């Protein structure tokens, strides 16, 4: 059978545990629960520096509203008043009459009180009470070991409760520090900052040529691919010619018939002067029919829509257009110069701020967010437009800075638009104040 550990070894082990404790709660738990093998007692209680019951042996966490804990708070001033740093014996006879009668109800008769003091000022970090049954005298060795443990615990508690010197200073110094803090916070809130907003953005052409449907019809074929470079006069797409071909064929046949009838009437006019009147009518019909044929042939030429200038054809999947009916003037695609691009953003109505012409705009492109594009505000719509998602937003355009690498049309990302400089307080409270005005109506 192993011999019990030597008291000195237990003392050193407990001191190490106290020094290595990770929190105030662990220090307090060790002091009232794990010291029993070295300092046997029926009940151990620990008050903190403020007189609150911090720990009770056998209890995980004291219930501050329990009658026993409330009574312990009442006797703390008596225990902490003039206690010898080396500890002293304590019993109910040293308490006021109003508290003395409950001692026997809550605690064993004999107690030993030790203040937890540490540092040059020897400030009290707490009070430690250990109680025993009647006749349980405290030996000189037990008192010495208790003093060592109390000093170690006080040092550990002080380390965990370390705070700046001004916290424990005079009241005037604390008020001065608070005033300095308030002034520093006020100064921080008055610092000027850049007011900015974010908006979804896209790279668009500056002045694209809009290619529209020349007439009502159905798109039959696209002659170019999306983002293909085209030359001036190059065919882009063609409308279905079935209807026009049929009309032209009928018009040509009608013209031939009228011309034949005119020649017959001309021969009759030699013998019948009355036929001359009919010749004038037929001549008018021939001219009218020739105009009709010419117009239909012109329309057949126009169904092949050509590019008015060189550039890049900008449109979506051509198969979305093939077989789709279009009306005269409907936009089908754009032709834009590749290097002539700018930034377009849609600023939500709730994010609108004061923006002067030339305000800085920074676009973070999705495909290359580490290399933003820098631009200057060129145009901001005076009223919001309804977007496809149902929200209202203001359209703005920004010209790319000179020397900036020209991005491709269609690149998307987010734009940061910088406005005027405002105080940090306004920057923080702008949106909450706007929402409060909406709620309160003033």
Q: What is the pLDDT of residues 146-189, one digit of tens each?
A: 888 888 888 888 887 654 444 444 555 567 788 888 888 888 88
The fold adopted by the segment(s) 198-206+334-440 is Elongation Factor Tu (Ef-tu); domain 3 (2.40.30)
| Greatest mean pLDDT range, 31-40, 108-117, 304-313, 372-381 | 372-381
Nearest to residue 126, comparing CAs of 158, 170, 92, 160?
158
User: Do the beta carbons of residue 328 and residue 213 sit within 8 Å?
Assistant: yes
The fold adopted by the segment(s) 7-163 is Beta-Lactamase (3.30.450)
Whole-Å CA distances, 288 to 12, 196, 296: 122, 66, 13
Dihedral class, residue 299 (left if φ above 0, else alpha if ψ from -120 to 50, else beta): alpha
Neighbours of 102 (CB within 10 A): 16
Residue 394 has a pLDDT of: 92
For residue 113, report the phi and psi dihedrals to the nearest 5 degrees: -110, 130
Longest dimension (CA), the chain: 165
Which carries the bigger pLDDT value, residue 233 or residue 438?
233
Q: Say yes or no: do domains 7-163 and 198-206+334-440 share a fold.
A: no
User: Do the beta carbons of residue 27 and residue 157 sit within 8 Å?
Assistant: yes
Q: How large is the average pLDDT for residues 60-64?
A: 85
Distance from C-alpha of 45 to C-alpha of 417, rounded to nearest angstrom: 64
Mapping DSSP onto H, E and C, the string for 227-276 reads CCEECCCCEEEEECCHHHHHHHHHHHHHHHHHHHHHHHHHHHHHHCCCHH
Q: What is the pLDDT of residues 281-310, one digit of tens each?
A: 777 888 888 888 788 788 778 888 888 888
Q: List, as one string, the DSSP characters of 149-218.
A: HHHHHHHHHHHHT---GGGGS-HHHHHHHHHHHHHHHHHHHTSEEEEEEEEEEEEEESSPEEEE-SSSEE
Predicted model pTM: 0.49
Please give the share of the chain, as a percent, with pLDDT higher than 90: 10
State the alpha helices, DSSP H only, in 272-356.
275-302
Residue 442 has a pLDDT of: 57
Whole-Å CA distances, 311 to 210, 233, 335, 340: 12, 11, 6, 10
Q: What is the pLDDT of residues 375-391, one digit of tens each?
A: 999 989 888 888 877 88
Q: Could you give the angle at which helices 7-20 and 140-160 cross, rounded to 10 degrees?
A: 10
Domain ranges of the chain: 7-163, 198-206+334-440, 209-332
Nearest to residue 55, comparing CAs of 73, 79, 80, 31?
31
Q: How large is the average pLDDT for residues 357-363?
A: 91
343 — pLDDT class (breaks 50, 70, 90): very high
Distance from C-alpha of 59 to C-alpha of 243, rounded to nearest angstrom: 97
Q: What is the CA radius of gyration of the chain?
A: 48
Residue with tokens 């030359």: 231
Distance from C-alpha of 265 to C-alpha of 258, rounded to nearest angstrom: 10
3-state secondary structure of 433: helix
Which carries the bigger pLDDT value, residue 324 or residue 135?
324
Residue 133 has a pLDDT of: 79
């Amino acid at each position: 059978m192993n011999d019990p550990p030597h008291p000195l070894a237990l003392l050193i082990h407990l001191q190490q545990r106290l020094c290595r404790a990770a929190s105030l709660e662990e220090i307090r738990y060790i002091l009232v629960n794990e010291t029993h093998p070295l300092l046997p007692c029926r009940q151990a209680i620990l008050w903190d520096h403020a007189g609150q019951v911090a720990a009770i042996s056998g209890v995980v966490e004291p219930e501050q509203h329990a009658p026993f804990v409330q009574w312990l708070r009442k006797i703390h001033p008596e225990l902490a008043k003039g206690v010898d740093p080396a500890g002293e014996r304590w019993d109910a006879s040293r308490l006021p009459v109003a508290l003395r009668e409950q001692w026997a109800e809550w605690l064993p008769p004999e107690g030993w009180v030790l203040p937890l003091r540490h540092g040059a000022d020897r400030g009290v970090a707490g009070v430690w009470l250990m109680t025993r049954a009647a006749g349980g005298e405290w030996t000189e060795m037990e008192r010495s070991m208790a003093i060592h443990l109390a000093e170690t615990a006080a040092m550990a508690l002080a380390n965990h409760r370390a705070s700046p010197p001004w916290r424990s200073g005079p009241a005037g110094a604390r008020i001065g520090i608070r005033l300095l803090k308030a002034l520093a916070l006020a100064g921080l809130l008055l610092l000027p900052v850049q007011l900015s907003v974010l908006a979804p953005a896209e790279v668009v052409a500056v002045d694209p040529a809009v290619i529209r449907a020349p007439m009502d019809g159905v798109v039959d074929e696209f002659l170019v691919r999306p983002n293909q470079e085209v030359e001036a006069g190059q065919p882009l797409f063609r409308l279905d010619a079935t209807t026009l071909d049929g009309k032209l064929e009928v018009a040509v046949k009608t013209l031939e018939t009228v011309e034949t009838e005119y020649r017959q009437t001309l021969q009759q006019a030699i013998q019948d002067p009355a036929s001359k009147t009919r010749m004038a009518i037929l001549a008018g019909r021939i001219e009218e029919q020739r105009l009709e044929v010419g117009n239909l042939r012109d329309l057949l030429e126009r169904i092949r829509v050509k590019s008015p200038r060189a550039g890049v054809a900008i449109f979506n999947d051509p198969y979305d257009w093939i077989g789709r009916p279009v009306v005269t003037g409907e936009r089908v695609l754009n032709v834009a110069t590749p290097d002539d691009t700018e930034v377009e953003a849609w600023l939500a109505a709730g994010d609108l701020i004061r923006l002067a012409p030339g305000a800085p705009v920074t676009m973070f492109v999705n495909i290359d967010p580490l290399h933003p594009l820098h631009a200057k505000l060129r145009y901001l719509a005076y009223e919001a437009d309804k977007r496809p998602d149902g929200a209202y937003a203001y359209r703005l355009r920004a010209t790319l800075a000179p020397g900036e690498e020209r991005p491709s049309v269609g690149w998307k990302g987010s734009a940061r638009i910088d406005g005027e400089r405002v105080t940090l307080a306004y920057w923080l409270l702008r949106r909450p104040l706007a929402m409060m005005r909406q709620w309160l109506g003033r």
